[in-house]
Amino acid sequence: MNALITRPRLVPPSPAAFAGRHPARFLVAAAVAWTLAWLSLLPAAAVLGTVLAFMMGVIARSLPEMIILRKVLKVRLIAAFAGIVAAGIVLVGHVFNAVL
């Protein structure tokens, strides 16, 4: 009798699967991580432009975001998006370091 009862396999979900099923939770978790990193880097004498560039890079160019974008965009458009975002992040970092 016990041989007929099967247990469900407990496999932890990947971050991309979690982000796809729970986008609001994923965004809240990303915002919390961003805020904690921001608060920990600024008192450590990090320059504001560097902290901004790092935080934007972590959020905007993350693997889960690229996987989510893969569902709606072609690989070529994702590469263009990643390049434009990277250039913008570098520009923002340099501008904030120069101004402040």
Domain ranges of the chain: 15-99
Cα separation, 45 vs 15, in Å, equals 32
Q: What is the pTM of this model?
A: 0.56
CA dihedral 22, 39, 85, 90 (to 10 degrees): -170
Higher pLDDT pick, 68 / 21: 68
Radius of gyration of the chain measured on its C-alpha atoms: 19
- Structure confidence at residue 41 (pLDDT): 66
Residue with tokens 């608060």: 39
Instruction: Single out the residue of 51, 48, 61, 62 nearest to residue 87, CA to CA.
Output: 61
pLDDT digits over 10-64, tens only?
A: 555 555 555 566 667 766 777 777 677 667 766 666 777 877 888 788 778 888 8
What are the Cα distances from residue 52, in Å, to 15, 23, 75?
A: 24, 23, 27
How many residues comprise the chain?
100
- Structure confidence at residue 66 (pLDDT): 86
Residue with tokens 């450590």: 44
